[in-house]
């Protein structure tokens, strides 16, 4: 395999694993923040979306979609269904 093929495969595997993991977590627990981790599924999925689509989100949806600060400040800012709707990695890399 070429280096590009290896990186493409690793990226695909990572997104497939992430999609399987987030699909297995019920939406009503996405905003839960355990004391020992201080983050939530919503917070982490939001960061993944921003890392992939930063420009698109800022231009099309606007900066109000996400908030700055800690995960506790982000509770209720975006519904899990809305985050999954913006997560197109499953279409780019397959659903796993």
Query: How far is it, in rounded angstroms, from Cα 22 to Cα 40?
Result: 11
Q: How many domains would you assign to the chain?
A: 1
For residue 32, how many C-alpha atoms fall within 13 Å in the half-sphere facing its CB? 8
Q: Is residue 12 part of a domain?
A: no
Residue 75 DSSP symbol: T
Please determine, for residue 30, whether its predicted confidence score (pLDDT) is greater than 90. Answer: yes
What's the whole-number average pLDDT of the chain?
78
pTM of the complete model = 0.55
Give me the pLDDT at residue 20, please: 92
**What is the mean predicted confidence (pLDDT) over 18-33?**
93
Range of the domain at 48: 39-96
Would residue 46 count as lying in a domain? yes
């Amino acid at each position: 395999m070429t280096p590009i093929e290896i990186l493409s495969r690793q990226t695909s595997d990572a997104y497939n694993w992430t999609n399987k993991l987030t699909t297995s977590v019920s939406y009503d627990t996405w905003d839960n923040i355990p004391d020992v981790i201080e983050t939530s599924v919503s917070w982490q999925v939001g960061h993944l979306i921003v890392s992939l689509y930063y420009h698109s989100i800022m231009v099309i949806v606007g900066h109000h979609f996400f908030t700055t600060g800690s995960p506790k400040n982000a509770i209720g800012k975006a519904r899990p269904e809305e985050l999954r709707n913006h997560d197109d990695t499953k279409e780019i890399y397959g659903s796993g």
